[in-house]
């Protein structure tokens, strides 16, 4: 594939020298991965600027550079100058891999909370139709039997296109993609052709990056706005932001909800306990009682979103029911841990005050006993949510521990102090920076019928400290504590 052929897809560019005969063997934005015959795209990251590594890429055999400015120290290879290298990387990657999404059915899922559970439910519904589905999301990237641990919810565009190409090569014609606000802001999904797009909900998150909720909403909107008239937008009828999304898309709209009786797809909850939720699914495609193995009304919303998406893809209600009911858990999302104890234990990824409130309300509804919570807040992230999380913990938990949750470069005690600012009364809580010790103390405190929820890390298997990353999995800690292999640190 010639360099001039690839660059023909760029919307606007200029080049310093002729490059007609250059053969492109690969594309990368990581100078460490450059090989002979590769095209290097210099993008600005959080910590490093790819423009600073153009010289290295040239020395390693790059046959061309895509950049936002001319790099004077490189004179022997073409420099293709574009307004935005992140968008250029998306367009180049899409072309290089042969426009894979145009040959597949792609489902995009965006929103603040519920993306991962909705993606798992959606994948399950697709597979209940006897079709295989790939997945790109927060927990992992799944291509058939190949499972790649996810480093970020939505990877860089070159990786997205590579994974979609691999799916096609494995005869996988469906893919479910979690679309994060960062990814949409940074053009990682430009060029991906979505058949359907699902919106779950919107609340304040990542404001350290987006600055305000309006900007955050606009980035989420990009997924819905990018749909054409043949696509479907699946929108939450019970959420105000959906009205704005509906006004700004050419797609056909399918509404889902619990409260809004005019929604196309809705639910009437019949029963909810620690083993799951039974509800009546009502839709133009039929009615069906669903035995969802996940708890909480928020998971009913996730199921409705997935069901609506399934209907848009042409699946019947029996396939939808089977797909929803066959999913028994989602790693780190109100994941139930049972080691024979006489109280309930759940691990959840909730790391915002809204998500924490939803989780605690769900757990409160399944017990008449105490709700015991262990949580913290991540370092180098939105500080405004810390006091709010303290306030939620005080309101909805009977007893809670404040501990570490990926403090990164910040002093853990400073993070805990900021959480405490939201606790205004004589709440029952303890400070224990050592997360292992906090979990152990909470489990020893639990009594028959209580509910213990360990929030913040969910599926994660590491703890990010100032200058290192250490292995850490809340679920493994619980297992060791309850098996008696961990020495008490009380």
- pLDDT tens per residue, range 75-94: 788 899 999 999 999 999 99
* Superfamily for domain range 3-96: MurE/MurF, N-terminal domain (3.40.1390.10)
* Average model confidence (pLDDT) across the chain: 93
Give the model confidence (pLDDT) of 127-137 as tens digits.
999 999 999 99
| Start-to-end CA span in the chain (Å) | 64
Angle formed at CA 305 by CA 234 and CA 185, multiple of 5 degrees: 60
What share of the chain has pLDDT > 70, as a percent?
96
Nearest to 248 by CA among 272, 211, 219: 219
Check whether 461 has a pLDDT greater than 50.
yes
What share of the chain has pLDDT > 90, as a percent?
85
Check whether 14 has a pLDDT greater than 90.
no
| b/e code 109-121 from CB counts within 10 Å (16+ = b) | bbbbbbbbbbbbb
Mean pLDDT of 317-342: 96
Check whether 423 has a pLDDT greater than 60.
yes
Phi and psi at 96, nearest 5°, equal: -60, -40
**How far is residue 342's CA from residue 199's CA, in Å, rounded to a whole number?**
38
How would residue 18 be classed by pLDDT, with cut points 50, 70 and 90?
Answer: low
The DSSP 8-state label assigned to residue 249 in this structure reads -
What confidence score (pLDDT) does residue 479 get? 96
Nearest to 124 by CA among 253, 274, 292: 292
Check whether 489 has a pLDDT greater than 60.
no
CA count, 13 A, side-chain hemisphere, 214: 0
* Domain residue limits, the chain: 3-96, 100-326, 335-483
Mean pLDDT of 247-271: 97
Collect all residues with Cβ–Cβ distance below 8 Å to 199 and sequence separation of at least 6: 110, 111, 220, 223, 224, 233, 234, 235, 236, 239, 241, 242, 245
Check whether 284 has a pLDDT greater than 70.
yes
Check whether 490 has a pLDDT greater than 50.
no
Collect all residues with Cβ–Cβ distance below 8 Å to 153 and sequence separation of at least 6: 115, 137, 138, 178, 180, 182, 183
Taking the model in full, what pTM does it have?
Answer: 0.94
Let me know: does 435 contact 444? Beta carbons within 8 Å. no
- Which burial class, exposed, middle or buried, applies to 321 when counting CB atoms under 10 A from its CB (0-12, 13-18, 19+)? buried
Tokens for 129?
A: 């139709």
Mean pLDDT of 105-114: 96
What confidence score (pLDDT) does residue 45 get? 82
Q: How far is C-alpha 41 from the geometric centre of its chain's CA atoms?
A: 25
The DSSP 8-state label assigned to residue 24 in this structure reads P
Mean pLDDT of 225-249: 96
Phi and psi at 234, nearest 5°, equal: -100, 110
What confidence score (pLDDT) does residue 11 get? 80
Let me know: does 171 contact 134? Beta carbons within 8 Å. no
CATH number of 100-326: 3.40.1190.10
Q: How far is C-alpha 274 from the geometric centre of its chain's CA atoms?
A: 25
* Strand pairing class (276-283; 265-273): antiparallel
Mean pLDDT of 377-400: 95
Let me know: does 238 contact 259? Beta carbons within 8 Å. yes
Let me know: does 242 contact 236? Beta carbons within 8 Å. yes
100-326 and 335-483 agree in CATH topology: no
How would residue 13 be classed by pLDDT, with cut points 50, 70 and 90?
Answer: confident
Number of continuous H segments (helices) and E segments (strands) in the chain: 16, 24
Higher-pLDDT residue of 20, 356? 356
Tokens for 483?
A: 């098996």
How would residue 12 be classed by pLDDT, with cut points 50, 70 and 90?
Answer: confident
Mean pLDDT of 101-108: 98
Q: What is the CA radius of gyration of the chain?
A: 24
The CATH class of 335-483 is alpha beta
What confidence score (pLDDT) does residue 74 get? 80
How would residue 16 be classed by pLDDT, with cut points 50, 70 and 90?
Answer: low
Let me know: does 263 contact 237? Beta carbons within 8 Å. yes
What confidence score (pLDDT) does residue 82 get? 94
What confidence score (pLDDT) does residue 210 get? 54
The DSSP 8-state label assigned to residue 103 in this structure reads G
Q: Kindly report the number of other CB atoms within 10 A of residue 352's CB atom.
A: 23
How would residue 487 be classed by pLDDT, with cut points 50, 70 and 90?
Answer: very low
Nearest to 182 by CA among 161, 151, 141, 140: 151
**How far is residue 293's CA from residue 304's CA, in Å, rounded to a whole number?**
14
Give the model confidence (pLDDT) of 38-78 as tens digits.
999 999 887 789 999 999 999 999 999 999 998 888 878 88
Let me know: does 212 contact 250? Beta carbons within 8 Å. no
Phi and psi at 333, nearest 5°, equal: -115, 95
What confidence score (pLDDT) does residue 486 get? 47
Higher-pLDDT residue of 488, 33? 33
């Amino acid at each position: 594939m010639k360099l001039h052929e690839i660059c023909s897809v760029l919307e606007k560019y200029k080049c310093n020298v002729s490059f007609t005969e250059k053969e492109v063997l690969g594309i990368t934005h990581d100078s460490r991965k450059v090989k002979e015959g590769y095209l290097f795209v210099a993008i600005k990251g959080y910590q490093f600027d790819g423009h600073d590594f153009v010289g290295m890429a040239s020395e390693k055999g790059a046959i061309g550079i895509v950049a936002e400015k001319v790099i004077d120290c490189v004179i022997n290879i073409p420099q293709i100058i574009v307004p935005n290298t992140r968008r250029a990387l998306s367009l180049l990657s899409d072309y290089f891999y042969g426009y894979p999404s145009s040959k597949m059915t792609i489902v995009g899922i965006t929103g603040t909370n519920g993306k991962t559970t909705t993606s798992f439910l959606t994948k399950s519904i697709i597979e209940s139709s006897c079709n295989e589905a790939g997945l790109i999301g927060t927990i992992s990237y799944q291509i058939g039997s190949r499972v790649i641990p996810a480093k970020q919810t939505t990877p860089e565009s070159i990786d997205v296109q590579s994974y979609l190409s691999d799916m096609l090569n494995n005869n996988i014609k469906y893919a479910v993609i979690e679309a994060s606000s960062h990814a949409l802001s940074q053009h990682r999904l430009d060029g991906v052709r979505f058949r359907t797009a699902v919106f779950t909900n919107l609340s304040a998150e990542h404001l350290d990056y987006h600055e305000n909720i309006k900007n955050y909403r606009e980035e989420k909107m990009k997924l819905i706005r990018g749909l054409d008239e043949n696509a479907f937008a699946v929108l939450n009828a019970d959420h105000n932001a959906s009205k704005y999304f509906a006004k700004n898309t050419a797609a056909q709209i399918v509404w889902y909800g619990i409260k809004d009786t005019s929604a196309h797809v809705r639910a009437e909850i019949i029963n909810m306990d620690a083993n799951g939720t039974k509800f009546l699914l009502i839709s133009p495609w039929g009615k069906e009682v669903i035995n969802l193995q996940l708890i909480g009304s928020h998971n009913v919303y996730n199921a409705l979103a997935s069901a609506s998406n399934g209907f848009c893809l042409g699946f019947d209600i029996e396939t939808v029911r089977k797909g929803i009911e066959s999913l028994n858990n989602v790693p780190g999302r109100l994941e139930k841990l049972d080691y024979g104890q006489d109280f309930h234990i759940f691990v959840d990824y909730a790391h915002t005050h809204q998500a924490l409130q939803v989780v605690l309300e769900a757990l409160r509804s399944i017990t008449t006993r105490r709700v015991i919570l262990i949580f913290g807040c991540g370092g180098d992230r939105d500080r405004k949510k810390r006091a709010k999380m303290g306030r939620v913990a005080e309101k909805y938990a009977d007893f809670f521990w404040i501990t570490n949750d990926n403090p990164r470069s910040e002093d853990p005690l400073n993070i805990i102090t900021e959480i405490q600012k939201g606790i205004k009364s004589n709440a029952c809580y303890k400070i224990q920076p050592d997360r292992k010790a906090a979990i152990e103390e909470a489990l020893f405190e639990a009594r028959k019928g209580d509910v213990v929820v360990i929030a913040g890390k969910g599926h994660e298997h590491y703890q990010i400290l100032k200058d290192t990353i250490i292995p850490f999995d809340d679920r493994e800690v619980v297992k060791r504590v309850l098996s008696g292999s961990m020495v008490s640190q009380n």
